[in-house]
Structure 1
Amino acid sequence: MNNIKLNFLLEEFPSLLQNLPANAKGEWGSMNGQQMVEHFIDAILLAAGKIPAPLLTPAESLPKMRDFLFSDAPFQENIKNPLVSETPPATRLPDMNTAVSELQRALNTFTEVFKEDPSKEIINPFFGPLDYTGQVQLLHKHAIHHLKQFRLSKKSA
């Protein structure tokens, strides 16, 4: 387990998001700042098994997908996610502070799920079954992607 990535997700990432205006526009994509944070909350809850999703990647493609996941290669800018509409949904939370607080709550839920069952594997629709290490890797890579999208610095990896 890479504790640097986990600590980044739990501490630094939410702190960086506090400085993002709710209506900020990214370098790519159509989500504003708050929509991105709410999207990331869903990604965390998916990683925790609280939002189940079917496996979309064919079994024969999973090794290649997992190789990418565990590499240093970033997600491509403006990558399309078939689970996310081209038009972002309206925000569901009242403001950015609430969204960041909910993100922190989701991260706590995520860590609790794996504390209760450290060997648990949860299906990710693109990467297949992932254990805690795999889920942390994915969330970290995803967080870096959105930090770049909204021009927020990342002080540590």
Structure 2
Amino acid sequence: MTIPTYIHRATIEPLMANLQPTSTPIWGGMTPQHMIEHLTAIHHIGCGSPEAPCFTDEAKLPTIREFLRSEVELRQGVISPIFGKDLHPYKHPDLATAKLAFLNAVDIFHQYYQANPGKLHMNPVFGQCSYEDWQLFHKKHNYHHFKQFGLV
């Protein structure tokens, strides 16, 4: 299977219309707002704001980066090494505001790399990533969470 690409506002925004505060996940314990705020945070990390550590052993990076470049989906129930399994307090007052912040983060991500094409930033799992690598990550990660909530 080829993982669909939902990494730009034009492809993400229509999906967001179907996500409601009462939407329930197919798996996992996130609420819709937690999921959107999680995606927002990792888009900021992709621009180095904030810089993140890498939790993967250096010896395993070549294999894990092969996975990044594959069409294999992220598995259900995977726990983020940077966010953990516990749900964090909301950063925004409601889902609508969180959605707007996410779309803004998506735009900022692409604008950042247009202005800084050679920049590398640490991904918590995949190590130092270029714009291309981060796009591959967001492709897998966004799809994973959109699927989690039945949006795709």
The TM-score, its normalising length taken from structure 2, stands at: 0.91
Report if aligned partners of 1:18, 1:100 keep a CA contact under 8 Å in 2.
no
The amino acid across from 2:5 in the alignment is K
Distance in 2 of aligned mates of 1:68 and 1:53: 20
Distance in 1 of aligned mates of 2:37 and 2:124: 19
Corresponding residue SS for 2:5: helix
Distance in 2 of aligned mates of 1:147 and 1:45: 19
What residue number does 1:128 align with? Answer: 127
What does 1:12-27 align with in structure 2 at a 5 Å threshold?
12-27=11-26
What does 1:1-157 align with in structure 2 at a 5 Å threshold?
5=5, 8-153=7-152
Corresponding residue SS for 2:8: helix
Offset of residue 81 of structure 1? 1.5
Deviations 1:26-51 (A, max 9, x none): 11111111110001000100111112
Report if aligned partners of 1:28, 1:149 keep a CA contact under 8 Å in 2.
yes
Alignment identity in percent?
28
- Change in Cα spacing, 1:107 to 1:74, as seen in structure 2 (3 Å) is same
Q: Structure 1 regions of 5+ residues with no counterpart? A: none
Deviations 1:93-131 (A, max 9, x none): 122221111011111211121111101111111101111
Query: Which consecutive segments of 4 or more residues in structure 1 shift more than 3 A?
Result: none
Corresponding residue SS for 1:136: helix
